[in-house]
Structure 1
């Protein structure tokens, strides 16, 4: 970690980035930890601009948070990548070491596991994943250590199905593919992870069973989603996107600052307040 009298810098990069809650969460952590000389910003950076930005980093920088579309594009620019990040070819956290090396990690995966564990979900005998994008592959990686049986992925195209099956083979997960037209069947699984964009699962809300299992909906805005609201109405446990965002940010703060544990409760309160103000 850099010397205490140096102003430490961190930031979130992506495109679009204006909506990001990361500055709110990280700044709340700095305040709680008494890190008055730390700053956390946001930068609108696309894939073309990323190499130049990374090249410009100097010794005042501690780390970067990365969102779409940079999680894969950053990998060739790094000196090393953790096994977790390599398993899904996605880096959302870059830490600059004292000797100037750039190390990449993925805190989304352990963040998912931690968010589920917080709600009492540590093991499941099967699961369903709605969607097949980058977040879905992270979901499979999280399920690799907690699901003892098959994971059914509901997808819109054969190509997406092949991708999810390929991720399953890499991660050691028994992935079975189903058509999105049959997505209502997913809601019967003991654990449902929705990784789709806003509005994509609204039509499923009416099909939530009377005694649902656990829903993990990775969206945090708008919240609750139609599916999450219907799930809660039937007294089903719901894990939301803010839970994921906070847990992965906790791990980022710990890696970038060298201070642990990061203040989970303060970060969550800050995120809830920011969303309520929008």
Structure 2
């Protein structure tokens, strides 16, 4: 099979090396997920992990030869990967973040599959439209959350952050998308109720119980993008409130599936062969069970 990217060059069909880069990286579940998918697809591809920081990223990228097919990027590399991309998909262009590089001969093609990962994992909980929502935290993942919520029809997003000035880029992004984004501080009382909260804080971020409980009381379903530190302060508050909290494993699963579509077809919207089987195998990895 020769992979031809639309309007771009031909990807070497023999290219079979892939890795996930970031710092830290030892915790990454991506090698297991990708290996399970490649096994179902019958692909003789290797997928490893490498500790790479922002300062060493460009030099490491320059060492890759035509045996390499692509990279997955995690923190703190999504910004430098964005800068390195010769071509961007719309989600990457909107967010300024790239978590997937397809190593095309005409230059790396950058994609953001975090947005689709959020959209698809919320669909697993039956949330396919969301009129309003709350985001906790204003870092890089919050940008992907804003784009995902706009795709789900949200027109009002409240961003709870310790520094209101950090919300300004999200407000500007919301204006571009036709979404009203407003800032709110962490507080012991929040009167505004929403059907969904997306938490983008680091897993070990401290949150006072009173503020966490206020968020849980008015926050609907919680999607906490963390999966390495569980429970988090926010998921514990949702548990106290008897409300539903989901970890970031679903987002991890679905963004990885979209990455594999890109590595296979050059397009995140083109389904894989036997995609249902691929998804079951990947879920089995996360659940610690063999796929049926």
Instruction: Please give the alpha-carbon distance, in whole angstroms, between the structure 1 residues aligned to 2:177 and 2:136.
Output: 18
Q: TM-score, normalised by structure 1?
A: 0.87
Is 1:192 matched up with 2:207?
A: no
Contact 1:87 1:171 (C-alpha < 8 Å) held by counterparts: no
Q: TM-score, normalised by structure 2?
A: 0.83
SS at match of 1:90: coil
Is 1:156 matched up with 2:162?
A: yes
Counting matched residue pairs gives 269
* Aligned counterpart for 1:27 among listed residues 14, 35, 39: 35
RMSD (Å) for aligned C-alpha atoms:
2.4
Query: Residues 177-206 of structure 1, C-alpha deviation per residue, up to 9 Å, x if partnerless?
Result: 111235x52883211111111243462554
Q: Which runs of 4+ in 1 moved over 6 A?
A: none
Instruction: Please give the alpha-carbon distance, in whole angstroms, between the structure 1 residues aligned to 2:52 and 2:95.
Output: 22
Mapping of residues 118-157 of structure 1, within 5 Å:
118-157=124-163
Is 1:115 matched up with 2:130?
A: no
Residue 272 of structure 1 corresponds to which residue in structure 2?
287
Residue 177 of structure 2 corresponds to which residue in structure 1?
171
Residue 49 of structure 1 corresponds to which residue in structure 2?
56
Please say which of residues 107-116 and 147-156 is displaced more in the overlay. Answer: 147-156
Q: Which consecutive unaligned segments of at least 5 residues does structure 1 have?
A: none
Q: 1:187 to 1:218 in 2, by over 3 A?
A: farther
Query: Residues 159-178 of structure 1, C-alpha deviation per residue, up to 9 Å, x if partnerless?
Result: 21323212222333210111
Instruction: Please give the alpha-carbon distance, in whole angstroms, between the structure 2 residues aligned to 1:13 and 1:3.
Output: 22
Is 1:9 matched up with 2:17?
A: yes
Instruction: Please give the alpha-carbon distance, in whole angstroms, between the structure 1 residues aligned to 2:212 and 2:158.
Output: 19
Is 1:221 matched up with 2:202?
A: no
Residue 72 of structure 1 corresponds to which residue in structure 2?
79
